Amino acid sequence: MSSLSARLLISVSVLLLLFFGATIVVLDIAFRDVGEKAREDILDGQLMTLLAAAEPNAAGELEMPAGLPEPRFGNVGSGLYADLQDSDGNHLWRSPSSLGLELPHGPVTRLGAQQFSRLIMEDGTPLMSLSIAVEWELPDGELKPYIFYVAESLDSFNAQVARYRRQLFTWFGAIAIIMLFSISLLMRGVLRPLRRIEQEISEIEKGNRQSLSEGFPTELSGVARNMNVLIGSERARSERYRQTLDNLAHSLKTPLAAMRAILTQQKSPSLTEQLDPQISQMTEIVRYQLRKPAASASDAIGATPVPLEAELSRLVDALRKVYGEKDPTIDLSVTEDAEFRGDTGDFLELAGNLLDNACKWCESQVSLTIRPANDAGGMLLTVDDDGPGIPEDAAEALLQRGSRLDESAPGHGIGLAVVRDIARSYGGTVSIEASYLGGASMTVVIPPAAQR
Amino acid sequence: MRLLVIEDDATLRETLCSQLADEGFGIEQAADGREGLYFALEYPIDLAIVDLGLPEISGLDLIRQLREKGKTYPILILTARDRWQDKVDGLSAGADDYVVKPFHFEEVTARVNALLRRSGGWASSTLSAGPVMLDTSRQELRVSERSIELTSYEYKIIEHLMIRAGEVISKTELTDRLYDQDFERDSNVIEVFIGRLRKKMDPDNTIKPIETLRGRGYRFALERNQDV
């Protein structure tokens, strides 16, 4: 069960089932008890009526009058029955309603005691019966025992109970459905802040947002606060790390430059021959290994899109200065929906190294195009030149440089290895092909932030 | 030509300055941004070499201030930071080129010469005026398609004169270009070199490339050719 709402709904359903079930049982029992008690009282009243109506006849036996006050005794199959027996079990009288029916009798315990019983008639109809054994003082002063008996069919009572039960189920069922529905609505409201956190985190991932907003409920504001602290410290940590490497590289390069200057001043070819390659190698190691690392995908949390055209125009202005004497034509074409989310420095490093190479090798033509990597955005950057180009087998080797830097000959620039590393850290790729301009065509593909 | 070197690392600054002086440049040097800014504003400077990581005033600020105060001479950045971001920042602040530390000295002189050439109004590395063509990247002089052998001293003088074609260059400045600063200034060695150059370039005395202005100096007199 991965959904909180589903979890809650299922638990609530089970609880409702137990609770409502118990309530229904209790209500049912109470209703039955009250109903039965009422039935017993009525039956008791009927019995009293019979006792009051009985009169001894001339033969010295008890006799019931023809018309009783309760008309149901007179109607056949009315459901209310009565009879009168002597102590031997001989029927002295039977109510006309019991005509043709065999009435079951419960046991009679002792004189004067009322005895309620539940009985079943031959045709299966349930009965509630009440009997009483009395001693009747006849006019001659003789005491004679009799048993008075009344019984009523429980059919209508049971039908009433069943109706009552049906109503209970209907109402409680309706209430349960309404409750579950309201709870699920409620859950939606209660869980809305969670959905908001989720949405804001995904916005941060996509770089549309710097941190989680304020105003979460008390239970979540702690989570949001800690999350912001985490994001902040993560950014600070990676920035500190880059800064440290950068400072280290910076502080090593000046002494290296001084060493080289001193070496030049010595004007000793043999010393230069021995030491210069060493200095060059150290230089490349420092430049490559200690260079400010590219932002990783996680550093790009909250990164905003780099304003590509503005940065490119700064870069191209700079390159035009540097290549002022060669003065190559640099064509720029940037499609508007291309997007690079990340560090501006990383973008400049990609475009700068590729353009620098192209300007270095071209005859007179350099062209840079940027368009989206795919439908979801991203950036596809291609730099073409009309220089000598790069043979296919050399291209692979060029891209491999840097991974085994210390073996490589110094002085060949590490631009392409840097481009490759930055592209990789953004989940992208670099490829080299023949250009339509006649020289090399270098392509960097950076997928959109969401697909890294 | 006077160069200003602003670099806080003493060893690097001193060796670089002495090597540039060997190349014949007049040198001013400063160890921090404040001192550097003072020299850059108050002294007659033809080109400044500026380290970006300077104490007191950062290299970037220094360059910006120079440009704001209307100084237009070329500025070469020395930087240990080789990310494009830093290069672009430096160049858009007003610098003209950069050299990344640790550099070969030849790289610095090549850039300095190229910048001086450009600031002299030459767009390409080949200077051409009338029948005279000087290819500075190959250090080769041709007059009317005829290649002329030059000693390195002669080359430096004709290069200096041609870069600033049309301007009057004093004898002192040419002396500086050839030797260390403490060289005996009264020597007439410059006259000797100029005489040799004239003989090599213009044996028939028809094109008269170098003019003598008595008491003031020399001038490369031919009109620059328009770039084709």
**What rounded mean pLDDT belongs to chain A?**
83
What pLDDT, on a 0 to 100 scale, did the predictor assign at position B77? 93
Is the domain of A351 the same as that of A434? yes
- CB contacts of A352 in chain B (<8 Å) are 84, 87-88
In this structure, of A115-119, A216-220, A313-317, A407-411, the range with the lowest mean pLDDT score is A407-411
Distance from the A299 Cα atom to the nearest Cα atom in chain B, whole angstroms: 18
- Number of structural domains chain A divides into: 3
What pLDDT, on a 0 to 100 scale, did the predictor assign at position B211? 84
Whether A352 sits inside 8 A of B87 (CB atoms) is: yes
What pLDDT, on a 0 to 100 scale, did the predictor assign at position A164? 92
Interval A404-414 mean pLDDT: 43
Between CA A39 and CA A264 the distance in angstroms is 125
Domains assigned to chain B: 2-119 (3.40.50.2300), 126-220 (1.10.10.10)
Q: Would you say residue A346 lies in a domain?
A: yes
Is the domain of A330 the same as that of A225? no
- pLDDT band of A409, cuts 50, 70, 90: very low
Whether A264 sits inside 8 A of B19 (CB atoms) is: yes
| Chain A residue nearest residue B52, CA to CA | A250
- Strand B168-169 vs strand B26-30: parallel, antiparallel, or unpaired? unpaired
The candidate with the shortest Cα–Cα distance to A84, out of A48, A36, A131, A19, is A131
Q: Would you say residue A409 lies in a domain?
A: yes
Q: Would you say residue A182 lies in a domain?
A: no
What pLDDT, on a 0 to 100 scale, did the predictor assign at position A292? 63
- pLDDT band of B45, cuts 50, 70, 90: confident
Residue A404 has pLDDT above 50, yes or no: no
Question: Model confidence over A184-218: pLDDT tens digits?
Answer: 898 888 888 888 888 888 887 766 677 888 888 88
Tell whether B166 lies on the interface with A, counting CB pairs under 8 A: no
Interval B199-205 mean pLDDT: 83
Q: Would you say residue A43 lies in a domain?
A: yes
Is the domain of A276 the same as that of A357? no
Q: Would you say residue A166 lies in a domain?
A: no
Distance from the B107 Cα atom to the nearest Cα atom in chain A, whole angstroms: 11
Is the domain of A23 the same as that of A49? yes
What are residue A137's DSSP bridge partners? A143
Domain termination residue (choose one: A293, A313, A330): A293
Is the domain of A122 the same as that of A269? no
Is the domain of A61 the same as that of A109? yes
Select from B23, B89, B101 the residue whose CB has the most chain A CBs within 10 Å, as the one to mutate to test that interface: B101
What strands, in cross-sheet order, belong to the sheet with B146-148?
A: B126-129, B132-135, B140-143, B146-148
Tell whether A249 lies on the interface with B, counting CB pairs under 8 A: yes
Between CA B104 and CA B19 the distance in angstroms is 12
CATH code of the domain covering residue A438: 3.30.565.10
What pLDDT, on a 0 to 100 scale, did the predictor assign at position B75? 93
Is the domain of A23 the same as that of A104? yes
What pLDDT, on a 0 to 100 scale, did the predictor assign at position A300? 54
More confident residue, A71 or A171: A171
- Name the percent of chain B lying above pLDDT 90: 11
What pLDDT, on a 0 to 100 scale, did the predictor assign at position A26? 94
Decide if B86 contacts A253 (C-beta within 8 A): no
What domain range is A148 assigned to?
A: 4-160
Residues A323-355 as b/e (b if ≥16 CB within 10 A, e otherwise) read bbbeebebebeeeeebbbbbbbbbbbbbbbbbb
Domain termination residue (choose one: A244, A265, A293): A293
Whether B15 sits inside 8 A of A264 (CB atoms) is: yes
What pLDDT, on a 0 to 100 scale, did the predictor assign at position A243? 80
Question: Model confidence over A329-338: pLDDT tens digits?
Answer: 889 998 888 8
Is the domain of A394 the same as that of A257? no
Is the domain of A355 the same as that of A441? yes
Tell whether B211 lies on the interface with A, counting CB pairs under 8 A: no
The candidate with the shortest Cα–Cα distance to A198, out of A216, A171, A180, is A216
- CB contacts of A254 in chain B (<8 Å) are 9, 12, 53, 80, 101-102
**What rounded mean pLDDT belongs to chain B?**
84
Interval A321-349 mean pLDDT: 86
The candidate with the shortest Cα–Cα distance to A332, out of A348, A353, A349, A308, is A308
Is the domain of A333 the same as that of A438? yes
Q: Would you say residue A197 lies in a domain?
A: no
Whether A327 sits inside 8 A of B101 (CB atoms) is: no
Whether A264 sits inside 8 A of B105 (CB atoms) is: yes
Between CA A332 and CA A250 the distance in angstroms is 33
- CB contacts of A348 in chain B (<8 Å) are 83-85, 88
CATH code of the domain covering residue A85: 3.30.450
- pLDDT band of B180, cuts 50, 70, 90: low
Q: Does the predicted model carry a pTM greater than 0.90?
A: no
Residue B13 has pLDDT above 60, yes or no: yes
Residue B182 CB contacts under 8 Å (≥ 6 apart), including other chains: none
Q: In this complex, which of A283, A345, A356 lies closest to B85 when CB atoms are compared?
A: A345
Is the domain of A83 the same as that of A214? no
Is the domain of A283 the same as that of A327? no
In this structure, of A30-34, A389-393, B132-136, B141-145, the range with the lowest mean pLDDT score is A389-393
Whether B102 sits inside 8 A of A259 (CB atoms) is: yes
Q: In this complex, which of A256, A344, A356 lies closest to B85 when CB atoms are compared?
A: A344
SS3 of chain A:
CCCHHHHHHHHHHHHHHHHHHHHHHHHHHHHHHHHHHHHHHHHHHHHHHHHHHCEECCCCCEECCCCCCCHHHCCCCCCEEEEEEECCCCEEEECHHHCCCCCCCCCCCCCCCEEEEEEECCCCCEEEEEEEEEEEECCCCCEEEEEEEEEEECHHHHHHHHHHHHHHHHHHHHHHHHHHHHHHHHHHHHHHHHHHHHHHHHHHHHCCCCCCCCCCCHHHHHHHHHHHHHHHHHHHHHHHHHHHHHHHHHHHHHHHHHHHHHHHHHCCHHHHHHHHHHHHHHHHHHHHHCCCCCCCCCCCCCCCECCHHHHHHHHHHHHHHHCCCCCCEEEEEECCCCCCECCHHHHHHHHHHHHHHHHHHCCCEEEEEEECCECCECEEEEEEECCCCCCHHHHHHHHHCCCCHHHCCCCCCCHHHHHHHHHHHCCCEEEEEECCCCCEEEEEEECCHHHC
Q: Would you say residue A173 lies in a domain?
A: no
Whether B83 sits inside 8 A of A349 (CB atoms) is: yes
Whether B53 sits inside 8 A of A255 (CB atoms) is: no
- pLDDT band of A275, cuts 50, 70, 90: confident
Domain termination residue (choose one: A264, A293, A322): A293
The candidate with the shortest Cα–Cα distance to A158, out of A46, A28, A70, A43, is A28
- pLDDT band of A142, cuts 50, 70, 90: confident
Whether A255 sits inside 8 A of B125 (CB atoms) is: no
Residue A406 has pLDDT above 50, yes or no: no
Interval A80-104 mean pLDDT: 84
Q: Would you say residue A414 lies in a domain?
A: yes
What pLDDT, on a 0 to 100 scale, did the predictor assign at position A162? 92
What phi, psi does A84 have (nearest 5°)?
A: -135, 130
